[in-house]
C-alpha cells in the first residue's frame, strides 16, 4: 500500500519529535489537521497493517510490532492511524487504533510533504 504526504499540521512536528505520528486523510476535522500528517492513498489496498510488516517513510523502514484491533478499519475508512515510534514500553498506549513501530537504529522518521509512505 502506498500513500503520499500532502501536508503536515503545525503541531504535528512536535508530536513526531516525541515519537507519535498521527495520519489522517484530507477529510480530517480542522482541529485534527493541526496535529496530523495528512496523506492521500495511491491505491485501495485494505487490511494492510500486520505485526511483522514494514512501514517506510521515504527510505526509512520500521517494523510493525503491534497493531490495534481497530487500526486497519480506521486506516481503511478514514486514513487515520496513530503510530508510536520506538516505544520501549509497549504496555502503555496500546489503543485499538494504534500501531507500534520500531527501527534498529531507534531514529525517528523524517516526514516531508510529497514523501511516499509505504506499508508492506
Q: What is the pLDDT of residues 67-85, one digit of tens each?
A: 999 999 999 999 999 999 9
Q: What is the mean pLDDT of the chain?
A: 93
Q: What is the pLDDT of residues 2-40, one digit of tens each?
A: 999 999 999 999 999 999 999 999 999 999 999 999 999
Residue of 100 and 105 predicted with greater confidence: 100
Q: Calculate mean pLDDT across residues 38-50.
A: 95
Q: What is the pLDDT, as a whole number, of residue 93?
A: 62
Q: Calculate mean pLDDT across residues 56-77.
A: 96
Domain count, the chain: 1
- Residue 94's pLDDT band, with cuts at 50, 70 and 90, is confident
Q: What is the pLDDT, as a whole number, of residue 17?
A: 95
Domain containing 16 equals 2-119
Q: What is the pLDDT, as a whole number, of residue 89?
A: 59
Q: Is pLDDT at 111 greater than 90 in this prediction?
A: yes
Instruction: Find, among 1, 19, 12, 14, the residue nearest to 34 by Cα.
Output: 12
Q: How far apart are CA 102 and CA 100, in angstroms?
A: 7
Sequence-separated (6 or more) residues with CB below 8 Å from residue 115: 4, 5, 57, 58
C-alpha cell at 7: 501536508
CATH code for position 47: 2.40.33.40
Amino acid at each position: 500500500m502506498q500513500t503520499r504526504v500532502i501536508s503536515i499540521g503545525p503541531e504535528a512536528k512536535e508530536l513526531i519529535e516525541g515519537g507519535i505520528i498521527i495520519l489522517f486523510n484530507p477529510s480530517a476535522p480542522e482541529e485534527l489537521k493541526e496535529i496530523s500528517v495528512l496523506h492521500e492513498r495511491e491505491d485501495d489496498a485494505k487490511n494492510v497493517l500486520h505485526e511483522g510488516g514494514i512501514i517506510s517513510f521515504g527510505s526509512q523502514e520500521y517494523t510493525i510490532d503491534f497493531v490495534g484491533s481497530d487500526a486497519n478499519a480506521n486506516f481503511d475508512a478514514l486514513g487515520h492511524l496513530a503510530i508510536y515510534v520506538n516505544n520501549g514500553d509497549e504496555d502503555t498506549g496500546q489503543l485499538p487504533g494504534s500501531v507500534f513501530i520500531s527501527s534498529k537504529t531507534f531514529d525517528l522518521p523524517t516526514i516531508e510533504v510529497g514523501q511516499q509512505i509505504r506499508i508492506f
